[in-house]
Amino acid sequence: MNILYDYIYYAGAFGLIFIGIFTMMVKRNYIKVIIGLSILETGVNLFLISVGYISNGTAPIFSNPGIEAKNMVDPVPQALVLTAIVIGLAVLSLALSMAIRLYKHFGTLDLQQIKEQRW
Partner 1 sequence: MIVIVTFLIVAMLAAAVSAYFFRDLLNAVIASCMVSLIAAVMFILLHAPDVAMAEASIGAALVTTVFVIAIRRTTRYEK
Partner 2 sequence: MRKCIGIILLIIIAWGILTSLQTMPFGVSRAKVANHYINNGKDETGAANIVTSVVINYRAFDTLGEVTVLFLSAIGLGAVLATIKTREKRDTEKASLILSTGCRFLFPPIILFGAYIFIHGHLTPGGGFQGGAIIASAFLLMYLGCHGEKRLNDRCSTFSESLGGLAFVIIGLIGLAVGTHYFLNNFMPLGKFNTLLSAGVIPIIYIAIGFKVGAELSKIIDLLMEES
- Separation CA 34–CA 24 (nearest Å): 8
For the chain, the C-alpha Rg in angstroms (whole number) is 20
The secondary structure of residue 57, as a DSSP letter, is -
- Separation CA 26–CA 5 (nearest Å): 32
Interaction with partner 1 in 45-84: which residues (CB under 8 A)? 45-46, 49-50, 53, 57-61, 73, 78, 81-82
Contact 78, 49 (CB under 8 A): yes
Task: For residue 44, state whether it binds partner 1 (rule: CB under 8 A).
Answer: no
Q: Which residues bind partner 1 (CB under 8 A)?
A: 1, 4-5, 8-9, 11-12, 15-16, 19-20, 22-23, 27-29, 31-32, 34-36, 38-39, 42, 45-46, 49-50, 53, 57-61, 73, 78, 81-82, 85-86, 88-89, 92-93, 96-97, 99-100, 103, 109-110
